[in-house]
Amino acid sequence: MSSTTTAWPDRVSRETIVEVASSLISIPSVSGNEKDVMDFVECWCEQRGISYIVTAKDPARPNVIAWVGDPENGPVIAMNGHLDTVPVSDASSWKAGPFEPVVSDDGKKLFGRGSSDMKSSVGVMLTMLELFRDADLDGALMAHVVSDEETSAVYGTLHVLEQIEAGLVPKPDYVFIGEGSQLKVRNAERGILGFDITFIGRASHTAVARMTGINALAKAAKGILALEGDIDKFHPSIGHPVISVNMIKAGVAHNVVPGEAKISVDRRLIPGETKESVTAEIVAMLDAVAADDPDFRYEIEVDPEGGFIPA
């Protein structure tokens, strides 16, 4: 970046950032439904004369690669951010609609689905592209605005990496990601590994539940309590690993003891942990429960959706 740009940070407009972020928040984009918000980004770049390409493994889940400057004329600094969000699970708890962005009374927070993860950060990235559009850059400032971060990244950043390897997208010299980090520079990221665990009971009518039934939900409750909790490990760049039981499915009728109960577990890994080591830990925790309960039986499926990402 040339010396003529040193005063440009003073031109950063908070109002513009909030405006762009609010526009992104107002467009629902739960993972798998990113097309509308990516169309907005494409149109936004087009209106401002910012260079961009659209690349997609699935046309319904595109990624926008936008830049200012010349990638052939010096180093490329890339900003990476995703626009897919997790679903809204507690709509009744919102004071305003999840897709109705609202700035707090003190002006310090922007509320809306995806505001922190991570549409506000993408709003900053896009605003920076516009800010430096006419700067005399030695190289280029680039934004990778991607889909599919909340699930597998196969249609998002992993696809972009494939395009870079194929020479279809300029390879950046430096990359930073705008995910929340408590304003600390972090050079690592947690991995992700999912588990489906089915607890096996014995179905029966409620009338004879205590005679012939083995309630799989009760066994699942024991398993959940064994798994839920803090993990006594730590990595200086990203902190502790995390485990959370996030879904449960059981029962066929209100008067039938459930014969099976399935939970879905989300485990986040830190560097040094592997798929095998984490699986062994979970099996050990469940086996400890089984040692005290002869009716405690389970089956475990590791990485059921094929979304494993190492730390």
pLDDT of residue 213 exceeding 50: yes
Q: In what order do the strands lie in the sheet with 63-69?
A: 51-55, 63-69, 140-146, 76-82, 174-177
pLDDT at position 6: 54
pLDDT of residue 222 exceeding 90: yes
In whole angstroms, how far apart are CA 210 and each of 20, 131, 304? 60, 70, 34
Percent of the chain topping pLDDT 90: 86
pLDDT at position 120: 96
The mean predicted confidence, pLDDT, of the chain is 94
Q: Average pLDDT for residues 270-278, to the nearest whole number?
A: 97
Q: 240-273, pLDDT tens digit by residue? A: 999 999 999 999 999 999 999 999 999 999 999 9
Q: Which two tokens stand for residue 282?
A: 């979970």
Q: 170-203, pLDDT tens digit by residue? A: 999 999 999 988 888 888 889 999 999 999 999 9
Q: Average pLDDT for residues 120-124, to the nearest whole number?
A: 97
Fold (topology level) of 191-302: Alpha-Beta Plaits (3.30.70)
pLDDT of residue 4 exceeding 70: no
Rounded to two decimals, the pTM is 0.83
Per-residue DSSP letter, 253 = S
Which residue do the tokens 């626009």 mark? Answer: 83
pLDDT of residue 50 exceeding 60: yes
Q: 63-112, pLDDT tens digit by residue? A: 999 999 999 999 999 999 999 999 998 888 998 999 999 999 998 999 99
Q: In what order do the strands lie in the sheet with 260-269?
A: 242-250, 260-269, 191-200, 297-302
What does the domain layout of the chain look like in residue ranges? Answer: 8-177, 191-302
User: Which superfamily does CATH assign the domain made up of 8-177 to?
Assistant: Zn peptidases (3.40.630.10)
Give the helix/strand (H/E) hosting 65: strand 63-69
Q: Distance between CA atoms of 28 and 306, rounded to whole angstroms?
A: 26
Q: Distance between CA atoms of 257 and 217, rounded to whole angstroms?
A: 9
Q: How far is CA 275 from the centre of its chain?
A: 19
